[in-house]
Each structure stands twice: as structure tokens, then as C-alpha cells.
Amino acid sequence: MLASRLVVCLDVTEGRVVKGVNFRNLRDIGDPVELAASYEKGGADEIVFLDITATLENRDTLFALIERTAQRLFIPLTVGGGLRSTEDALRALGAGADKVALNSAAVDRPGTISEIAERLGRQCVVVSIDVARTGNEWRVVTRGGRTATERTAAEWARECEARGAGEIVLTSIDRDGARTGYDIELTSAISGAVNIPVVASGGAGAPNHIVDVFQQTGAQAALVAGVLHDGLFTVADIKREMKNAGLLVRAA
């Protein structure tokens, strides 16, 4: 039985960690290097570092900042934002990342997933899927939630797996920053559609929300951000509740 992973997300822009609601109204949280080290010390299982404006600004990700962050960590580090090619992925891994996350670039050119997986191995390839509900469907959106696509979430998740993705980070834009709990229906649907790990993201507001997503869906990991950044709960608080609910967790 695999441990249920608790993943802390650092959304970064202009070298600072930020957080908003529904990908909007961003506010400054702090220095990514110090925050990553603090969350590792607190018991986080993994860190996800997302340069959330790299694609919008059509620039490379912040490789120097990634390197400084990676130097402080012993837990896995996933890096995303502005990665468009195998060369970008190699630069990220060279800077210390363990995995690379693709989002808009994968939707724009799905072959990117296969190219990176074939070169580096699918264990390195994460596809970050941002989803918004449109009527009775979940549609994939890109560029920080600003661009709608015609792809449905389940269809795209299955294609990502077929092309070589080793993991999916699934974010409900409707729940992002709202702290009302993960979208259980969405997470159940996508984790049931693929055979690779799904990381639930968007909506964590309390430790019981993390317990719920593990107990009610097939997610293998849960991503948290704002409730930790604002000091409402600690990683240890969340893991204690997970353990009390009977989930297998790594010690915090």
C-alpha cells in the first residue's frame, strides 16, 4: 500500500510565491527558497514549483531560482511553467528538479509529452491539467485559466497517459483558492479514467478536505497551498488528521 502524499505548491511570479482565488487577485506570500525549505522541514512529501506567468510572458522559467530552491531540498521537486521542449526539461532537471510539469505547451503540441518521456523517462513527466466546469462538462483551460479549449478533462487525461505522462496534477479552477474542498466528482472521474497517479488540486481549506479526497477518490496525492501559506494549518496538522483517519502517511 502506497503512502498518501501531501504535496505543497509554490506558485511563483517575479521570483516570489503568490496566491490568489480562481487564478486571479494574486498576493505576495514570500520567498520560494525559504518557503520550500520550511515546508520540507515541516514534513511535506514533495514540492511543486510553478512559474505561473512564464507562458503568458513567453519567457523561460526561472532556472536560477529553481537551482537555489533545489539546493535546499531532499524531497522531490517538480517544476513547471514555461517549459516547452525536451531542452527546457533538461535545463530544469539540470537545475535540480526531479520532475517537469507541462501544461499549456502540452495542449498546444501534445507530441511534447512523448518527446520528453522518450528522452527522460515517463517518471519525470507530469502533465498539469487545469479544468473548469462548462455546463455539464469539465473543459481543459490553459494559460493560467485564461484560454478555454474544446478538450474534455477525461479525454485529455487519457491522451496524456497514452503519450507518456507519468503523473497528472488535476486542478479545479472553480475551486482554486476557495477553500471549500476539492472537486470530488471531478477527481473521481479523472483518477478513474487513467492508470497513472493523480494529484488532486484546488480547494483545500481544512485537513478534513485532504482526508475526503483520499477516501472518496482514487487520488494518490493531494496538493495544498494557501491554507499553509496563511498559517491556518501546518503540514503536521494535516498529516495528523490523515493518520487518524486511517491513511498511510510518511512521518511529518
Within its chain, how far is the Cα of 155 from the centroid? 19
| Higher-confidence position of 194 and 145 | 194
Q: pLDDT category, 143, cuts 50, 70, 90?
A: confident
For 140, the grid coordinates are 481543459
Q: Assess whether pLDDT exceeds 90 at residue 1.
A: no
Q: Which of 43, 78, 38, 81 is nearest to 59 (CA)?
A: 81
Q: Assess whether pLDDT exceeds 60 at residue 231.
A: yes
Q: Mean pLDDT over residues 237-252, rounded?
A: 94
**Distance separating alpha carbons of residues 35 and 24, to the nearest angstrom:** 21
Residues taking part in catalysis: 11, 130
C-beta neighbour count of 215 within 10 angstroms: 15
pLDDT tens profile 18-54 = 977 665 667 889 999 999 999 999 999 999 999 877 7
**How many CA atoms lie within 13 Å of 113's alpha carbon, on the beta-carbon side?**
26
Q: Mean pLDDT over residues 77-81, rounded?
A: 95
For 196, the grid coordinates are 497513472
Those residues with Cβ within 8 angstroms of residue 190's Cβ, 6 or more apart along the chain or in another chain: 129, 153, 154, 157, 168, 170, 198
**Distance separating alpha carbons of residues 69 and 60, to the nearest angstrom:** 17
Q: Could you tell me the pTM of the whole model?
A: 0.93
Q: Assess whether pLDDT exceeds 70 at residue 181.
A: yes
In the chain, what percentage of residues exceed pLDDT 70?
Answer: 95
Those residues with Cβ within 8 angstroms of residue 104's Cβ, 6 or more apart along the chain or in another chain: 55, 142, 143, 147
For 216, the grid coordinates are 472518496
Q: Mean pLDDT over residues 190-213, rounded?
A: 98
